[in-house]
Amino acid sequence: MTENETMTPRDFIRMAVEEDIRTSRFGGRVHTRFPPEPNGYLHIGHAKAMAIDFGVAKDYGGKCNLRFDDTNPAKEEDEYVQAIIEDVRWLGHDFGDTIFYASDYFDQMYAWAEQLVRQGQAYVDDLSADEIREYRGTLTEPGKNSPYRDRSVEENLDLLRRMRAGEFPAGSRVLRAKIDMASPNINLRDPVMYRIVHAPHHRTGDKWHIYPMYDWAHGLEDSIEGITHSLCDLGYEDHRPLYDWFLDALGIYHPQQIEFARLNLTRTVLSKRFLLRLVNEGHVRGWDDPRMPTLRGLRRRGYTPEVIADFLNRVGVAKANSVVDIALLEYCVREDLNERAPRAMAVLEPLKVVITNYPEDQVEYFDVPNHPQKPEMGTRQVPFSRVVYIEQEDFMEEPAPKYFRLAPGREVRLVGAYYITCIGVVKDTNGNIVELHATYDPASRGGATPDGRKVKGTIHWVSAAHALDAEVRMYDYLFTKDDPGDVPEGQDFMANLNPASLVILPNAKVEPNLAGTQPGDRYQFMRKGYFCTDPDTAEGKLVFNLTVSLRDSWAKVQQQ
């Protein structure tokens, strides 16, 4: 394998980075950063940004800083800082042993602000927020200068210092860059650099009464850390001129900002605001609900960091806004779990089957492989007895065409055990099937007969006398449409919420080998899907989450 094959395929960002290395633009260095704001939990969209930020650094022997962009104390909390660190670690990204905080640079940023004031490139504006908006103009009309735009350097300096000292009420004044109120790029119409906020900061406490705006702060943070490539999403494309302007005005080290398209997934919403609503309005059980696209949700759902990395790798990096089919993500988990998940038998919706010709109190143990294609994963002993449970859907009193599971008079194989033939159906007074009677063929022991006859159906089972009770949580998409935002006028994505995104199966029966399972353990429940043990599992109470179902070609046949 050549070195190239071990690297992520070249995308336009890597090509630009390679060019900069070739020309020694930054002395051949590559240093990126992942700058989350600690005001929420990370989701798979952030995972893409991280794959790029950390991935580029790794590919070129550089570094990537984990930096909290904590410039707005009103929204940020330490709780999020801890959660984000945990998630970044979980994904396995290497951020060295230093965690960076924008707030550590507040003194330096402030000094630079005074420099801009002294250079006549920043001024204190007394206009109200509403007035500033009015003066800004519109997309098609230029803005106009604030009456405070031409204050003297001395007055600006004095006012700025008093702003910092906390002499003025919140919102009464701002520091603005003096650029061009007529710029076609609205970001350049004298952007606000500092606003007055009297709120304690999670790290600096009550030291500050003014806090820097993103555009002013971000480039400075990058510059201070010696970042070479500041990778961000398309939304910042027209902020780049401003990023460049501040750095040039200050005459300090100047990184290159490059933008890429963020990740969008079908059946998924990824905006913090929407995710927050799902949680607050109780549509999910929390940020780590297995239906959530948050990293915590995916983790609890049974996804691995490797799967997420593989998925992101397949998605690629480009500048076109796109929506990735969630089927690709599911393909990635299935591929991974098919390799590593040991098989187990679990009957999700049990139907009792009495094997009438099987000795009353006999128990046999069958040696069942943990993985059909991987003998090295070993085998396990699965008990078999006279009464077993099979899946309700594996029996049809009046079998549909092409249905080749159990039906009256029909013979099927119980995986790894025996062939059984249904000889009777027991119903309750309402006509519901409550039990089946069957006979087994002793010659089919182990799942095959000497005469080599074939059975069309093979189903899974669990011995009633040995089964463990379990709760199985079946998950489906949170939304019923590929595009959750595809709603009638006046409605929002809540209109597409899937009422059946969580279906709890409280009476599942699983094989006894699952007794000691620990949260996070993953299995393939044969013929059903991949499942993982939920943290809600406790002594005497097993809880499993569906990670993803197996491909089901029978379901397709049925639909036709």
Partner RNA sequence: UGGGGCGUGGCCAAGCUGGUAAGGCAAUGGACUUUGAAUCCAUGUAUCGCACGUUCGAGUCGUGCCGCCCCAGCCA
**Is 352 assigned a catalytic role?**
no
**Is 37 assigned a catalytic role?**
yes
Taking the complex as a whole, the smallest distance from the CB of residue 98 to RNA amounts, in Å, to 19
Beta bridge partners of 260: 233
Please say which residue, 190 or 534, places its beta carbon nearer to RNA. 190
User: Do residues 221 and 214 touch, judged by C-beta distance below 8 A?
Assistant: no
- Which candidate in 29, 162, 272, 285 is catalytic? 272
Q: Is the dihedral of CA 92, 93, 96, 98 positive or negative?
A: negative
Contact string (CB under 7 A) for RNA, positions 4-43, x = contact: ------xxx--x-------------------x-x------
Please say which residue, 405 or 502, places its beta carbon nearer to RNA. 405
**254 class by beta-carbon count within 10 Å (0-12 exposed, 13-18 middle, 19+ buried):** middle
Q: What does the chain come to in residues?
A: 560
247-306 residues in contact with RNA (CB under 7 A) are: 261
130-189 residues in contact with RNA (CB under 7 A) are: 132-133, 136, 138-140, 170-174, 184-187
Tokens 């190239």 belong to which residue?
Answer: 4
Query: Interface with RNA includes 48 (CB under 7 A)?
Result: no
Beta bridge partners of 420: 412, 440
- How far apart are alpha carbons 55 and 41 in whole angstroms? 21
Please say which residue, 283 or 410, places its beta carbon nearer to RNA. 410
Please say which residue, 26 or 211, places its beta carbon nearer to RNA. 211
User: Do residues 379 and 536 touch, judged by C-beta distance below 8 A?
Assistant: no
Contact string (CB under 7 A) for RNA, positions 477-516, x = contact: ----------------------------------------
Taking the complex as a whole, the smallest distance from the CB of residue 325 to RNA amounts, in Å, to 4
Please say which residue, 84 or 502, places its beta carbon nearer to RNA. 84
Report how far Cα 238 is from the mean position of its chain's Cα atoms: 27
Taking the complex as a whole, the smallest distance from the CB of residue 69 to RNA amounts, in Å, to 3
User: Do residues 440 and 358 touch, judged by C-beta distance below 8 A?
Assistant: yes
- How far apart are alpha carbons 203 and 469 in whole angstroms? 48
Question: What is the SS3 assignment for 541?
Answer: strand
For RNA, the binding residue among 4, 280, 373, 429 (CB under 7 A) is: 373
The piece of 149-157, 234-242, 244-252, 283-291 that touches RNA (CB under 7 A) is 234-242
**Is 155 assigned a catalytic role?**
no
Number of residues in contact with RNA, rule: CB under 7 A? 90
The strand ranges marked E within 247-378 are 256-260, 343-344, 346-347, 350-355, 364-369
- How far apart are alpha carbons 363 and 361 in whole angstroms? 7
Taking the complex as a whole, the smallest distance from the CB of residue 543 to RNA amounts, in Å, to 21
77-136 residues in contact with RNA (CB under 7 A) are: 127-129, 132-133, 136
Query: Interface with RNA includes 371 (CB under 7 A)?
Result: yes
Taking the complex as a whole, the smallest distance from the CB of residue 260 to RNA amounts, in Å, to 9
189-208 residues in contact with RNA (CB under 7 A) are: 191-192, 195-197
- Which candidate in 18, 25, 37, 77 is catalytic? 37
520-559 residues in contact with RNA (CB under 7 A) are: 524, 526-527, 550-554, 556-557
For RNA, the binding residue among 54, 403, 461, 479 (CB under 7 A) is: 403
408-467 residues in contact with RNA (CB under 7 A) are: 413, 415-416, 446-448, 457-458
For every residue of 194-212, DSSP letters joined together read: EEE----BTTTBTS-SEEE
Q: Where does 60-149 have alpha helices with state H?
A: 78-91, 106-118, 129-135
Taking the complex as a whole, the smallest distance from the CB of residue 120 to RNA amounts, in Å, to 21
Structure tokens given for 143: 């803005």
Taking the complex as a whole, the smallest distance from the CB of residue 539 to RNA amounts, in Å, to 29
Query: Interface with RNA includes 214 (CB under 7 A)?
Result: yes
298-337 residues in contact with RNA (CB under 7 A) are: 314-325, 327-328, 331, 334-335
Please say which residue, 63 or 195, places its beta carbon nearer to RNA. 195
User: Do residues 123 and 109 touch, judged by C-beta distance below 8 A?
Assistant: no
54-73 residues in contact with RNA (CB under 7 A) are: 69, 71-72
For RNA, the binding residue among 237, 244, 435, 521 (CB under 7 A) is: 237
**Cα separations (Å) of 7 from 45, 245, 313, 378?**
21, 35, 10, 34
Tokens 């065409």 belong to which residue?
Answer: 401
Please say which residue, 85 or 127, places its beta carbon nearer to RNA. 127
- How far apart are alpha carbons 13 and 32 in whole angstroms? 12
348-367 residues in contact with RNA (CB under 7 A) are: none
Q: What are phi and psi of 152, to 5 degrees?
A: -75, 160
- Which candidate in 262, 380, 445, 481 is catalytic? 262
Q: Would you tell me how many other CB atoms lie within 10 Å of the CB of residue 293?
A: 22
Q: Would you tell me how many other CB atoms lie within 10 Å of the CB of residue 196?
A: 20
Residues identified as active-site: 37, 262, 272
